[in-house]
Each structure stands twice: as C-alpha cells, then as structure tokens.
Amino acid sequence: MDLEQLRKTAAEVVARDDVKYLIGWKKGSYGYRVAPVFVEDAAGVAELIFSPLCTANLATYLTLVEKTPLPRGQEADKRKVAVMVKGCDSRAVVQLLVEKGIHREDVIVIGCPCPGVVDQSLLAEKYGDTKELVEVKWNGDSFLLVRGGEEIKIPRDEVLAEKCRLCRFPNPVISDHLISDEVEKRDLAEDSGVSELEAKDVDGRWEYWEEQFNKCIRCYSCRNVCPLCYCQDCILDRLNPTWINRAVNFSENTAFNISRAFHLAGRCIECGECERVCPANIPLGKINRKMAREVREKYGFEPGLDPDAEPFQASFKPDDPEDFIL
C-alpha cells in the first residue's frame, strides 16, 4: 500500500474549495486500534493510514451527520464529503446512491483496493494485545505484524476477518480516485456459518437464535454502525406507538433483531460491521448473509453494485407470478 500516494491524493482533495472534509482512518489510541478521522486540511493528511487494521466501514458517516437548525441568515454547508472505502464499504456508497440517501455530486469516493483485513480480536487472542501502538501490514499472502522492532509473519488465514473469507468484491465498485492497483480476487470460502444454520430444523434454528438474542443488551451499536440503517425516524425510537418496548427480554430483543434483518434484506452489503461491534458477540452477520443469500438465489439481485439499479424492496414486475400485491 502506497501511503504517499494516498496522502497526496487526500491533500489534493481536501484542498478543493468544494470539499468539506475527508473521512479516513488513522492510528488509534493503543495496540491494534484504528480510529476514524475527519481531515479538513492538508496538514491533517499525514495522519491517514490504510492497513489491514482498517476494518471500520466509513460510509456510515455519510448519513450519520447531525443537522441542527441553522441560525437565521446562515446557509447550510453544501460542500462535498470525501470518504475512503474498501471494496465492501464502496457497496454501501452505491446502495446509498440507489436509495437516494446520498447524492453522487455530494461525495468523493477514495477507493482503496483491499487484500483483506484482520479480525482484531483474533489477532489479540493469538498474538497478545498491547498498549503500545503496533503496525500490521500486507505482505503477499501473509500479514506482517510490526511490534517493538520485531517483525512477525502471520499466515493470512490465521487472523483474516470472516467477512474477508467470503469477500467477492475486494475492489471498490465505485471510486473517483483509486489509491493503488486493483487486487486480485481470491477463491471464495464456503459460508459454512450460514449453511450450518440452514441445515438445522426450525426448532434447532429457533433455539440457536433464542440463545443469541437473549444476550442482546440493546445498545443499538449494530444499528448505529450500519451504513444502511439510517432512517431519520427509526421504529426503535418511537414511543407513540411503541413498536418495540424498551424492556430488554427475549421477545423484544427478537422483535428488534428480526425487524432490522428484514429492513436490510436486499440492502445489506455484508461489510460485517454489526457483528464486529456487537458487545454481546451475537453473530449478526449470519442473519444478514442468510437474507442476502435468499435475495441472491431467489431474485438474482445483489445490492450495492449498480448505482442505477432499482431498490430491491421497492421494485415490482408486472409479470410477477404472485398477484397478491396488486
């Protein structure tokens, strides 16, 4: 990864009069952590990095902007926002364009072809966590952990994030600036997590999810981190009517998790952020990948690839064999 190229491109982008800021990754506060950063001027670009630790999907921040009422006479800041995206993240940008959650002229996409990121908890478990800031680099078919002057070569499969084993789009599907050559697609692993669940009977699946949803503490980190959970008026926040009670129990937790999964059917771009951030370790990826698999196999539709596509849940064909909708 050519950091110089990245920083040079970023500096040119943020220097533009019509750009508000660039959302990228920087080194975090300790260990393997990486944090999102908002770069407003050329001086800030020195902080930018792109490494196997850059797991977070920054496309979330495109719709997470809070708009407070403007003082009289003040104009809204309509400048563009630039965002760094990996292959999976770029699909969120496309899906947002499809849904008109954002407009093409408002974003500048900095595409980062991605050979796969690491699962930080796996890395910490196998190689120990540390307070000191450490670096992880791509190194052919392995990762290179640089810690205290020592370089440790880690086989790719040992610490690769699950979403990357299943990744079909390592290269950005949309970009205005590409910061390196595209990476080669790899052979796909079988999504054994989903297949194993599919093999269970209804009772077995119910038992599985009952155990999982019972763990939910309703912190809503999955909803908030999701680039495609951006409803201005979320049913979870509604009190009148109260669609989902504030009580935390299996029934309400299930209502919440299932509602979210359905709202994401045909929209989830499988970036895996929900599962990564869940403090209760609920395997949310499995539910969303199952929905994606259904939509792909039954309708031949894949979200987040074509900005001109019709949104899956809002499209209807007149020759649809089911007539209930008419």
Partner 1 sequence: MSAMLLNKEKWPEFVGKLTGKNLWAPKLEGEAMRFAPVAAGDEISLDYGNTRVPPKGAAFPQTETMYLFQLGNIEMEEPKLEEELILLGVRPCDARAMTIIEKLFRWDFDDPYYLKRRELVTLVGLACNEPGLNCFCSSVGGAPDSTEGLDLLMYDLGDSYLLEAVTAKGEALLAETKELLTDSDAGAVKAKEQLVADAGSKIKRTVDHSGIPEGLPGLWEDPLWKRVSASCIGCGTCTYLCPTCHCFDIQDEVEGFEARRCRTWDSCMFEEYTMHTSGHNPRPTRRERTRNRINHKYNYYVDKFDVIACVGCGRCINLCPVNIDIVEILRQVKEAL
Residues of this chain that bind partner 1 (CB under 8 A): 28-31, 33-38, 56, 60-61, 64, 66, 68, 121, 129-131, 215, 217-221, 223-225, 237, 239, 242, 245-249, 273, 276-277, 279-281
> Which residues are paired to 155 by β-bridges?
142
CB nearer to partner 1: pick between 7 and 218:
218
Q: To which H or E segment does residue 144 belong?
A: strand 142-147
Closest approach of partner 1 to the CB of residue 196, in Å: 15
Q: How far is the CB of 189 from partner 1 (least distance, A)?
A: 20
Q: Which is nearer to partner 1, 208 or 301 (CB)?
A: 208
Coarse DSSP helix, strand, coil percentages of the chain, rounded to the nearest 5 percent: 35, 15, 50
224, with CB counted inside 10 A (0-12, 13-18, 19+), is: middle
User: Nearest distance from residue 6's CB to partner 1, in Å?
Assistant: 19
Position 92: which residue type? A
Alpha-carbon distance of 15 to 253, in angstroms, equals 46
CB of 305 to partner 1, least distance (A): 25
The token pair that represents 308 in the structure block: 């001109």
Q: How far is the CB of 134 from partner 1 (least distance, A)?
A: 12
Nearer to partner 1, 60 or 257 (CB): 60
Token pair 């899906």 is found at 95
Name the residue nearer to partner 1 (CB basis): 23 or 109.
Answer: 23
Shortest Cβ distance from residue 237 to partner 1 (Å)? 5
**SS3 assignment, position 281:** coil
Q: Which is nearer to partner 1, 126 or 153 (CB)?
A: 126
Is 227 or 304 the residue whose CB approaches partner 1 more closely?
A: 227
Residue 181 one-letter amino acid = D
Shortest distance in whole angstroms from residue 282 CB to partner 1:
9
Q: Are 305 and 267 in contact (CB under 8 A)?
A: no
Nearest alpha carbon to residue 230 among 272, 267, 275: 267
Look at phi and psi of residue 100 and say left if phi exceeds 0, alpha if psi is from -120 to 50, else beta.
left
Q: How far apart are CA 92 and CA 83, in angstroms?
A: 12
Closer to partner 1 by Cβ: residue 95 or 120: 120
Could you tell me if 129 and 119 are in contact, meaning their C-beta atoms sit under 8 angstroms apart? Answer: no
